[in-house]
C-alpha cells in the first residue's frame, strides 16, 4: 500500500540516499555490510510503495532495460539448466544483484554524488592505511591479509580493482575539478601516490592492469581526445612506474618474476596460476562449442566443466569459475548472453557520451571501459564488492536527472 504522507515519503527517500553513502563507504571495507544496507533500502522502497511512478521513471532508461534483459535471461535459462539447485542459488545470490541498479537509481540524488564519491574514497583510504600498518609490522595480520597481499578487509582479487577506481576518482579531482583548493589537491595527490604504491604492494594483478587502464583513460580525457599526446605520455609514464616498482617493491618483483616463470613453463606445466587460467579457458570453449547460442543454463558451468576437465585435463583441478566474465557468460547463456552483457555497457557509454555534465560524462565512460578490461581476468560483475561498486556507480551515473539540475556542470 502506497504511503500517503508526503513528508514521511520524502524523508524516507532522503534516508535511502544516505544509505547509499554508507554503502559507498563499506564497499572497500566489508563484504556483508553493502548487502545489509541494501536490504534496508529495499524495505524503504516497499514502504513508500510508488511502484507505478517508479516504473514510469525507469521504463525509458535503456541501461535498465538491458539489465532487466540479462537478469531475465538468467532466470529463463534455469529451464534448460542441468543443475537447477546450483542455478537457483547462484542466480539469486549473484546475477540478481544487478537488479539493485534500478532500485538505487530511484533514490540517488545528484546533489549527493560528491558524498557517494567521498565515502567511497574514504573507505578505500581506511583500507589502505590498515594495509600499510600490516605491511610495516605495526599491527598483526588479520582477516584476508597475507605476506603477499596485506589487505585485511577484502581478498586481493577484489581489493585491487576497488583501489584502482579510487585512484581514478582522486586523479579526476586533481586534474579536472577547479572548485577545490591547492591544499586539497596536494592532499589528494598524497593519497593518489600512497594508493598507487599500495596497489602494487597488493597481489591483485587485475587491479594493477586496471590502473594502467585508468591512466590511459584519464590522459585521453585530460588531453581532450588528442591521441598522439595521450599515447606519448602513457608511453613515458608506464615504463617509469613499472621499473620503479619492480626495483623497489619486493612483492611486485616476485609476482612479475613468477608471471614470466609461468609463461616459460606453459608447455610443460599447466598447474601454475597462468597455466590453470588457460586450461579453464580452453576447457570452457569445449562446452561452448556444444551450446553456442543459449549456453548450458544458469548454474550449469560447474557440472559441464567437470565433465570436460575429466576428459581433457584430469590431473588438474575443477573450477566453478573460469576467471573470465565473458567465458563464464558464454558457457551459461551462450552468444545471446554475451549480447545482453555487452548491451549494458553499450548503453552506459551511449548515455555518458550524451551528457553535458563533464563529470558524469568522464566517469560514465570510465566505469564501463574499466570493467570491460578487468572482466577478462575474473567474474567481477558478479563478485560481491566489485558488483556493488558497479551497481552503486551505475545508479547515479546513468540516471536521467531533470534538465534544470546543472549543479555538477564543469566539476564535482
Burial class of residue 62 in the structure, from the number of CB atoms within 10 Å of its CB (0-12 exposed, 13-18 middle, 19+ buried): middle
pLDDT of res. 343? 97
Per DSSP, the residues of 245-259 read HHHH-HHHHHHHHHH
Per DSSP, the residues of 178-209 read TTS-HHHHHHHHHHHHHHHHHHHHSS-HHHHH
- Determine the average pLDDT of the residues in 272-291: 90
pLDDT of residue 44 exceeding 50, the answer is yes
pLDDT tens-place string over residues 191-238: 999 999 999 988 788 899 999 999 999 999 999 878 899 999 999 999
Burial class of residue 368 in the structure, from the number of CB atoms within 10 Å of its CB (0-12 exposed, 13-18 middle, 19+ buried): buried
The pTM (predicted TM-score) of the whole model is 0.93
pLDDT tens-place string over residues 309-350: 999 988 889 998 899 999 999 999 999 999 999 999 999 999
Residue of 250, 314, 309 lying closest to 285 (CA atoms): 309
Mean pLDDT of the chain: 90
pLDDT of residue 410 exceeding 50, the answer is no
Amino acid at each position: 500500500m502506497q504511503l500517503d504522507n508526503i513528508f514521511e515519503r520524502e524523508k524516507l527517500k532522503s534516508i535511502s540516499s544516505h544509505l547509499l553513502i554508507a554503502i559507498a563507504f563499506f564497499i572497500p571495507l566489508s563484504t556483508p555490510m553493502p548487502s545489509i544496507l541494501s536490504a534496508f533500502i529495499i524495505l524503504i522502497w516497499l514502504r513508500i510503495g510508488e511502484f507505478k511512478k517508479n516504473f514510469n521513471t525507469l521504463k525509458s532508461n535503456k541501461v535498465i532495460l538491458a539489465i532487466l534483459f540479462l537478469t531475465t535471461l538468467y532466470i529463463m535459462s534455469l529451464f534448460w539448466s542441468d543443475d537447477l539447485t546450483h542455478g537457483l542459488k547462484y542466480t539469486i545470490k549473484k546475477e540478481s544483484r544487478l537488479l539493485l541498479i534500478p532500485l538505487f537509481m530511484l533514490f540517488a540524488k545528484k546533489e549527493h554524488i560528491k558524498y557517494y564519491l567521498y565515502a567511497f574514497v574514504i573507505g578505500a583510504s581506511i583500507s589502505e592505511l590498515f594495509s600499510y600498518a600490516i605491511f610495516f609490522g605495526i599491527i598483526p595480520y588479520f582477516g584476508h591479509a597475507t605476506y603477499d597481499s596485506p589487505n585485511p578487509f577484502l581478498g586481493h582479487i577484489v581489493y585491487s580493482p576497488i583501489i584502482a577506481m579510487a585512484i581514478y576518482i582522486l586523479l579526476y579531482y586533481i586534474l579536472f575539478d577547479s572548485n577545490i583548493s591547492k591544499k586539497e589537491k596536494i592532499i589528494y595527490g598524497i593519497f593518489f601516490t600512497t594508493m598507487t604504491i599500495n596497489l602494487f604492494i597488493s597481489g591483485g594483478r587485475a587491479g594493477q592492469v586496471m590502473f594502467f587502464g585508468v591512466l590511459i583513460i584519464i590522459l585521453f580525457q585530460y588531453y581532450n581526445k588528442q591521441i598522439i599526446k595521450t599515447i606519448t605520455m602513457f608511453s613515458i609514464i608506464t615504463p617509469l612506474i613499472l621499473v620503479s616498482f619492480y626495483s623497489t617493491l619486493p612483492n611486485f618483483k616476485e609476482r612479475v618474476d613468477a608471471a614470466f616463470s609461468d609463461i616459460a613453463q606453459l608447455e610443460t606445466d599447466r598447474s601454475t596460476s597462468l597455466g590453470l587460467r588457460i586450461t579453464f579457458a580452453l576447457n570452457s570453449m569445449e562446452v561452448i562449442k556444444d551450446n553456442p547460442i543459449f549456453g548450458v543454463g544458469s548454474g550449469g558451468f560447474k557440472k559441464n566443466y567437470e565433465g570436460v576437465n575429466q576428459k581433457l585435463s584430469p590431473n588438474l583441478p575443477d573450477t566453478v569459475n573460469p576467471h573470465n566474465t565473458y567465458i563464464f557468460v558464454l558457457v551459461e547463456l551462450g552468444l545471446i548472453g554475451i549480447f545482453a552483457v555487452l548491451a549494458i555497457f553499450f548503453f552506459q557509454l551511449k548515455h555518458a557520451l550524451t551528457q553535458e555534465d563533464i563529470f558524469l560524462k568522464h566517469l560514465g565512460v570510465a566505469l564501463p571501459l574499466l570493467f570491460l578490461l578487468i572482466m577478462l581476468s575474473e567474474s567481477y560483475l558478479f563478485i560481491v564488492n566489485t558488483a556493488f561498486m558497479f551497481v552503486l556507480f551505475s545508479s547515479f551515473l546513468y540516471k536521467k536527472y531533470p534538465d534544470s539540475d546543472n549543479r555538477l556542470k564543469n566539476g564535482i
